[in-house]
Amino acid sequence: MSAADMFWAAPPVSRTITAAAVLLSVPTWMGFIDPYYIVFLGYKVFTIREVPQLWRIVTTFVLTGPKFGLIMDPYFLYTYGSQLEMQAARFTGPGDFFVYLIFVAFVILILGGVYLQGVMLLSPLTLALAYTFAQENPQCTT
């Protein structure tokens, strides 16, 4: 099985988010993209004085941490996301996992981004996936 076949065989939502995290984070932490233009800054998104930078709502959830986070964040994002997308009893219908991610991202954006003024929100999203995975699989030890 080739790498392309393995990529396309992965669950679609987890595959897309993980690929976006890698494709955005690698050039950012190599210095090709300034992180200032990617992280969530509420005053740049919710503004009427200049054009709102709406991409920050999405990119804040796919920017990993530097150095070791560049490896571990996508790994945990894919591991927990793909397990939930494929095996969770609460995500049986098409689009259930995607709607769950949108809802969780919205709550994290309001609480972590706006209220607590966080700028990188991939770690809270991964933590939410890990928590949901743990609730779905109480018998799992790893």
7-29 residue pLDDT tens: 898 899 999 999 999 999 999 99
> From CA 52, how far away is CA 45, in angstroms rounded?
5
pLDDT at residue number 137: 87
pTM, two decimal places: 0.92
Q: What's the token pair of residue 28?
A: 């950012």
The 3-class SS string of 59-125 reads HCCCCCCCCCHHHHHHHHHHHHHHHHHHHCCCCCCCCHHHHHHHHHHHHHHHHHHHHCCCCCCHHHH
CA dihedral 18, 22, 23, 25 (to 10 degrees): 130
pLDDT at residue number 142: 62
Exposed/middle/buried for 119, CB within 10 Å: 0-12, 13-18, 19+? Answer: middle
